Amino acid sequence: MVLNGCAVKNPTVCLAAAACLLLGLCVTARAGDYKDKDFSLRFPAALNRFSPYADAAAVGGASAGSKWSSSINPASTGWLALPGRYGVSLSPQYSALCFDQGTKMHVTSQAGVVDLKKWGVLQPAIAQVHSNTRTTSEGLDFNYEMEFYQLQWGKRLGKWAAGANFSYALSETEHQLSGLRVVRTRSDTYALRVGGLCEVVDKLLAGLVLDYGESKGRTVFYDFLGFGIGEIKVHDTTRQYGVRPGVSYEYMEDSAVFFDYQYLRLTNDTGRLRIHRFHAGVDHRLIEGLFVRAGTAFDIRGNAAVTCGVGIYPTDWFTIDVAYQCDMYPEVDLEFGPSHAVTLSLGFTF
């Protein structure tokens, strides 16, 4: 097999060349922004890129065709048997998203995997998001808080697997000027995700993920200038639809290349936003227990991100994954500028 013109029998050279190429894309390929769309559409579109698991984040988020339970595809949850005696795995994660304008978002999440045997595999997860308060390029101070809850299930039947995911998030976004509230939005978001995964031929997996989400927002515009007009309250619903096919090819044991295409459509009273994205990456085992990864995510507007990371697996029951992402969230560049993100994931199997 050949990857970017390099023989896979020397994949380290391939990874180095790919990383240089992707870094060049990250610096030069900023061809289009999203300033023609409202922030209420662009912000959730940006958050849709987020990968809480470092192994998936390091390969550009490309995981719809992945066999690992960290995949975006809920069907992958049940593809592999858990190695532990009791069929239970716990995984805490931490991500830091740092934007050039000074905004920082801290994401902590905790996930568990429970093997229910003939009933499939269950994966509950919770997450917390907290940002600092910093001034955006538009001159307003921004703050964001979110609580996230998820329940995911997957089951394998031979060369096929199916899965489903239901999640709920409660979030609050606030803009201030000199300590005075300008606008605050509270949202309840419900989302349903279903997925399928199949082994097309030996070592080649293909997956499909379908998403629907609905966010009911309650926005208050404050009379911060003291004109006496009082507060203005607006209720709006943002709907999100997503289709994401993906493939993975395992060219050697636990080493694979990944590729996803994603179509995302968001609508609310301010308009509509359509996004076409591509995610690609390589996960390569250097030696037993040590993995190196690289990837990219790019859209049809010419925005490209570069990602990389490592995985350290000293034993069957303990794993460490680290990922770095450069400029993964172009949808909010207007307010926050380019970003740098670091993710750490730990895994414990019992």
The per-residue pLDDT for range 209-237, each reduced to its tens digit, is 999 999 999 999 999 888 888 899 999 99
Q: What is the pLDDT of residues 43-74, one digit of tens each?
A: 999 999 999 999 999 999 999 999 999 999 99
Q: Is the pLDDT of residue 3 over 80?
A: no
For 276, other C-beta atoms within 10 Å of its C-beta total 12
Q: What is the pLDDT of residues 230-265, one digit of tens each?
A: 899 999 999 999 999 999 999 999 999 999 999 999
Can you tell me the distance from the alpha carbon of 240 to that of 148, in angstroms, rounded to the nearest whole number? 17
Q: What is the pTM of this model?
A: 0.89
Mean pLDDT of the chain: 91
What three-state secondary structure class fits 1?
A: coil
Q: What is the pLDDT of residues 180-210, one digit of tens each?
A: 999 999 999 999 999 999 999 999 999 999 9
Can you tell me the distance from the alpha carbon of 293 to that of 322, in angstroms, rounded to the nearest whole number? 10
Q: Is the pLDDT of residue 42 over 70?
A: yes
> Are the C-beta atoms of 264 and 297 separated by less than 8 Å?
no
DSSP state letters, 123-139: EEEEEEEEE--EE-TTS
Please name the amino acid found at residue 39.
F
CA angle 60, 50, 188 (to 5 degrees): 160
What range defines the domain where residue 48 resides? 2-349
Can you tell me the distance from the alpha carbon of 109 to that of 94, in angstroms, rounded to the nearest whole number? 6
How many distinct structural domains can be found in the chain? 1
Strand partners, 256: 250, 283
Q: CATH number of the domain that 23 lies in?
A: 2.40.160.40
> Are the C-beta atoms of 165 and 150 separated by less than 8 Å?
yes
